[in-house]
Amino acid sequence: MREWAPWERAGRWRRGPLSSFFPEAIERSLLKKTRVRFAPSPTGYLHVGGARTALFNFLFAKHTGGEFIIRIEDTDRERSTGEFEEKLLEDLSWLGLKWDEGPGKGGDLGPYRQTERMDIYKEHALRLVAGKRAFPCFCTNEELDAKREEMKNAGAPPQYDGTCRHLTDVEREERRDRGLPESIRFSVEGEGDRTIADMARGDVSFPAGMVGDFVILRSNGLPTYNFAAALDDSLMKITHVIRGAEHLANTLRQVMIYDALGMQQPQFAHIPLILGEDRTKLSKRHGAPNIMDYRKKGYPAEAVVNYLAFLGWSTKGDSEILSMDDLIGEFELERVSDSPSIFDEAKLNWVSASHVRAGGSERYLDEATPFFPGAIRERYGAESLGKIFDILSDNLPSFSMIEHETDPFMPVPLSFDDDATAALEGCGELLKIFARSFAQLEPWDVEGIKQVIKDSGKEAGVKGKGLYMPLRAAVTGRGHGPDLTAILLVKGKDDVISALEAAGIA
RNA sequence: GUCCCCAUCGUCUAGCCAGGUCAGGACAUCGCCCUUUCACGGCGACAACACGGGUUCGAAUCCCGUUGGGGACGCCA
């Protein structure tokens, strides 16, 4: 029996039961390298919805051993800015979604900014006009708006009525002479029912006549989203288009374009939307949905990534705290859910706290250092700062919370809360004993500190809460907080004694 | 309005495609334990198949309808 070459194997057994012998990633790479893209428009900051889409694309690409491409869709001249583009890329980088081709990186199938691809759009639009699959349209916005309104009121779907579809050359020239704006519309004439194969949700069918003739080239010469995206996806050899479910109707238009142009179309996967708590599409109104906000608050990128991955997707396994590599290893489009999900900050906090706890100062101190109050940073060296971080990292969803948790580490408490004040009531003698015993402690280590506390308790005749609470209150100013011995250890002998003395006097 | 999509605990979800499990897990909430306190951790509780019809010995699972929600209907993406 002859040996099968690897590609023959993959091809031959792809559909058979033996395909399970070949990990999906290997099988795919043998057939065709996957290429996916994230194509944001630089009209705002990176939103959690967009970030999740980018992440799914990235995970799919890496899981299948393929490439992740960034393309900037900046054809909306009014709203696109270079600053947004910069921030978008910055957030993507921060999340760890490194692109193989795109802005700042290059690639063979660029340029990767749509405004730099104008010739391509024009050329293909003209091709469609020549083939009668598109036509010049001279309707003004005012006319279109009025007609749309009329149709809506009449209960009809508000779509283009075909006014300019069959204009003669003479009529077109006449309109050009009048200086009317000229756009190019795709003609849906002759289009029948369409079924789109979707990897995430199965086949989706649209009846004929669902969309009217739509603009592909605006009167200002810029292409519209559907035209530019379809063209670029094909030209950039994108194999899988993974995008939000709100694009389903756009996909319908785009497959029409592919067919009219005779271009090969990618496979599609529409992922469910992320909704706000009011169950409408997530937007600025819903609190802080920008990635940058979470970054500024000091959430570790891998925590945000981890949380986002589980919105609309799940693993076969039972662990929910996963690294990027874990996610890449486990990600499958087939496990993307069909129904929209709601962004839940409480769960993000838990995921994030879990990462921080596991990583500790070794992993996060550098990132977290800027979040420490100046007074703390001045007082402690890097090593002590690390110890403080480890004490706090028991339950620290975001580094911005450090600020409120470091009061116990101030040399002398700035204030005393109610519980602390109550605990200090009539404890002058105990505090004096503590101060005297600690002064004699050498070296300043855990065992010594514990011993001093015990001995002081014996001397004063108190134990338990009566012993620990006054000490905690005097040293931290709070009734609650992290492990007391750990606090005493980092603060150091001098500060502890000063605090005890200060509290004793007060 | 028209078209498309969706429907399991408060939230994220497993289970659905190839009907048979006390409908599983996680977050949140509450209780108990651990502990000087808080947290972590452990144990436990609460809590869901939207509704109505079929098909079937048997339906969360398949089919139809209803209701509800969402999305789309731009010279935005």
State the complex-level ipTM: 0.94
Among candidate residues A32, A98, A152, A284, the one labeled active-site is A284
Distance CA A449, CA A453 (A): 6
**Tokens standing for A381?**
């060296």
| Cα A353 from Cα A393, distance rounded (Å) | 8
pTM for the whole structure: 0.90
CB atoms within 10 A of CB A454: 12
Residues 6+ apart with CB under 8 A from A413: A407, A420, A474, A475, A476, A477, A478, A499, A502, A503
Instruction: Report d(CA A396, CA A383) in Å as an integer.
Output: 19
Pick out the nucleotide with least CA–C1' distance to A141: B75
- The nucleotide lying nearest A342 (C-alpha to C1') is B11
For residue A89, what are the contacts with CB-CB under 8 A and spacing of at least 6?
A: A70, A103, A104
Q: Which two tokens stand for residue A302?
A: 């891998």
Nearest CA to A139 among A130, A148, A131? A148
pLDDT at A276: 83
A17 touches strand B (CB under 7 A): no
Q: State, as a whole number of angstroms, the distance between the CA of A337 and the C1' of B48.
A: 17
- Residue A195 forms beta bridges with which residues? A205
Strand B lies under 7 A from the Cβ of residue A347? yes
3-class DSSP assignment, residue A448 = helix
Q: What token pair was written down for A200?
A: 């995430």
- Is the CB of residue A142 inside 7 Å of nucleic acid strand B? no
Of all nucleotides, the one whose C1′ comes closest to residue A43's CA is B77
**Residue A479 neighbours by CB under 8 Å, 6+ apart:** A417, A418, A419, A420, A422, A423, A469, A472, A473
Q: Is A344 (CB) below 7 Å from strand B?
A: yes
Encoding tokens for residue A365?
């101190």
- For residue A419, the SS3 value is helix
Helix or strand run (H / E) with residue A36: strand A35-38
Q: How far apart are CA A406 and CA A402, in angstroms?
A: 6
Place of tokens 């070794």: A362
Peptide bond into A111 cis (omega under 30): yes
A316 as an active site residue: the answer is no
* Contact present, A199 and A251 (Cβ < 8 Å): no
* Tens of each residue's pLDDT in chain A, 506 residues: 222 222 222 221 222 222 333 444 444 445 679 999 999 999 999 999 999 999 999 999 999 999 999 999 999 999 999 999 999 999 999 999 999 999 999 999 989 999 999 999 999 999 999 999 999 999 999 889 888 888 888 777 788 988 899 999 999 999 999 999 999 999 999 898 999 999 888 888 898 888 999 999 999 999 999 999 999 999 999 999 999 999 999 999 999 999 999 999 999 999 999 988 888 877 777 765 899 999 999 999 999 999 999 999 999 988 999 999 999 999 999 999 999 999 999 999 999 999 999 999 999 999 999 999 999 999 999 999 999 999 999 999 999 999 989 999 998 888 898 889 888 888 888 999 999 999 998 899 999 999 999 999 999 888 888 899 999 999 999 999 999 999 999 999 999 999 998 887 65
